[in-house]
């Protein structure tokens, strides 16, 4: 398929999320229900750097010199709307990759599918880059990888990044 924003899948994916800040509230425009963090996710690593909000609807991931944090969905999803409010760290982040992605690598070790939104580390004064990856059957030959320079500074405020996954397309 030639379209970067549309990709068909046949296997369910685990929703794996690694990033600095995360919010689970779906906008009213989509008319979607949400779940609490503990209902839908489990810590993957850095549990001490994972801070749940008092209402249980969101989590903040802390990043320090030695570690960050990550969490994984408690169940597999075939389709859905996955959205995150992300604010990137505003200091020197060269070598850091903040990611929001889906993967079914736990279920399909040798030919997994993956859909990524990655923010590549930055040096002060340089434009931020975002990378999108679509992998099918464990290979970039069955997908695409694209990089874009952002026209805004994602470390200044929260921005919403979303994946809408239907039976026919991923956008």
39, 118, 126, 145: which one is catalytic? 118
114 has catalytic annotation: yes
Cross-strand partners of 29: none
114, 126, 145, 157: which one is catalytic? 114
118 has catalytic annotation: yes
Beta-strand relationship, 50-52 and 80-86 = unpaired
Annotated catalytic residues are 114, 118
């Amino acid at each position: 398929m030639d379209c970067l924003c549309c990709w068909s899948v046949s296997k369910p994916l685990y929703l794996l999320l690694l990033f600095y800040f995360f919010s689970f509230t779906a906008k009213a425009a989509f008319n979607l229900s949400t779940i609490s963090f503990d209902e839908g996710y489990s810590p993957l690593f850095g549990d001490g750097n994972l801070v749940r909000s008092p209402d249980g609807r969101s989590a903040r991931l802390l990043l320090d010199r030695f570690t960050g944090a990550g969490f994984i969905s408690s169940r597999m999803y075939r389709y859905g709307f996955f959205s995150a409010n992300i604010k990137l760290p505003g200091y020197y982040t060269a070598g850091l990759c903040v990611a929001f992605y889906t993967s079914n690598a736990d279920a399909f070790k040798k030919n997994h599918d993956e859909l990524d939104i990655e923010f590549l580390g930055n040096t002060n004064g340089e434009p931020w880059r975002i990378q999108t990856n679509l992998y099918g059957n464990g290979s970039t030959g069955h997908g695409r990888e694209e990089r874009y320079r952002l026209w805004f500074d994602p470390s200044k405020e929260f921005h919403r990044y979303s994946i809408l996954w239907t039976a026919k397309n991923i956008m």
